Structure 1
Amino acid sequence: MGRNIEIEFKNMLNKESFIKIYQHFQLKDHDFFTQDNHYFDTSEGSLGRKKAALRIREKNGRFELTLKLIVEAGVLEINQPISAEQAKDLISETAFPAGEVKDELMLLHIHPESLEYKGVLQTSRAQVPFKKGQLMLDHSIYFGLEDFEIEYELDEQSTDGENDLLQLLNELNIPKVHADNKIKRFFHAKKEGNH
């Protein structure tokens, strides 16, 4: 289990820009790993309205339940490792695992039994050390859509993180394009396509 404040800067990319970054960092296909993000909310969208999000991340056969909350310093993540069985129960909406995430949901006045499984977003990700943190190059697929983005996650609180990312984008002649987080993009696509 753990709580951490995530400080990150993002930029959407088109396929051409994605390839530029791929080549700039001399990445190879085997540098990418796949992770599935399974998302949940109530039928009324209670989590979204509280600027919170709940997901199970499935990576290398491991499962982690994460509740994200917007806080002043960035995004507070409450992470809880769960078993494959617990993940399956949650996705099939039969049981919610006990622990810190469930406790926090109750504090938000969201009953875990009211949560519904909303679908999966699959990301192919490469991670490279960069300045004061890690750069993530992501190719995501959800509801038949695909998108590309770069994320710069800082290891510590720093005010020049955004400048470091902008400098890299300028160097590679890549336009700055606002990036909503994956959860927001996922739910927007779900709503647009009525999935």
Structure 2
Amino acid sequence: MAQEIEIEFKNLLTQKEYQQVYHYLPFKSVELMEQTNYYFETDDLKLKQKGAALRIRHKNGKCTLTLKEPHKEGLLETHDALTEEEANLWIQNKMMEKPHVTKQLQGLGISLESLRYLGSLTTRRKEIGYEGTTVVLDHSLYYDQEDYELEVEASSKEDGKKVIQEILKACNIPERETDNKIKRFYNAKLQSE
């Protein structure tokens, strides 16, 4: 599918809280996956100004170009598959048109030529199905930082909110205002400059 609506709830965790959630749900029984996100932006931050984000995700030997844009239900994600070679060209600032993402970027008034590669964030991820949602534990590394995060992906806001609140309450973890990965990455990048 080239487009989908993403509804997710996030909460940053301490390393100790990460371990609590890890043992509260059956994460031990699922395989650890590693994925790397490569982020892009314009010099004048047009994507950020529009609440959008552009990344290539490398996961399980596959590369996917994804544009995330605000949507009333969550985030509208637009995807295009990339070959490994195409992804490497993008990272070298040699962007090429891809049908779905390019069309969405044009709708935002952003040209491929104005995009620049910013850097990468690597996540070690475990995910399980739970009460009709997908519950994810992430350990992310970027610049000289690392963080831990609980994420719940759901088909409705009600289901997602209910499940994340249930897990946080059961593990006695406070709800925290949590920026998405690209915002955390971008803040770390600014601090490192």
Tell me the equivalent position of 1:114. 114
Tell me the equivalent position of 2:32. 32
In 1: Cα distance, 2:98 partner to 2:24 partner: 44
In 1: Cα distance, 2:161 partner to 2:28 partner: 26
1:19-168 counterparts in 2 under 5 A?
19-28=19-28, 31-154=31-154, 156-168=155-167
Note the C-alpha offset of 1:29: 8.6
In 2: Cα distance, 1:158 partner to 1:181 partner: 17
Q: Which stretch of the first structure deviates more once superposed, 161-170 or 40-49?
A: 161-170
Once the two structures are aligned, what percentage of the paired residues are identical?
38
Note the C-alpha offset of 1:132: 2.1
In 1: Cα distance, 2:147 partner to 2:47 partner: 24
SS of structure 2 residue aligned to 1:189:
helix
Note the C-alpha offset of 1:95: 2.9
In 1: Cα distance, 2:95 partner to 2:48 partner: 21
RMSD: 1.4
What TM-score do the two structures reach when normalised by structure 2?
Answer: 0.95
In 1: Cα distance, 2:109 partner to 2:179 partner: 26
Off by >6 Å, runs of 4+ in structure 1: none
* Paired residue type of 1:161: G
Note the C-alpha offset of 1:149: 0.4
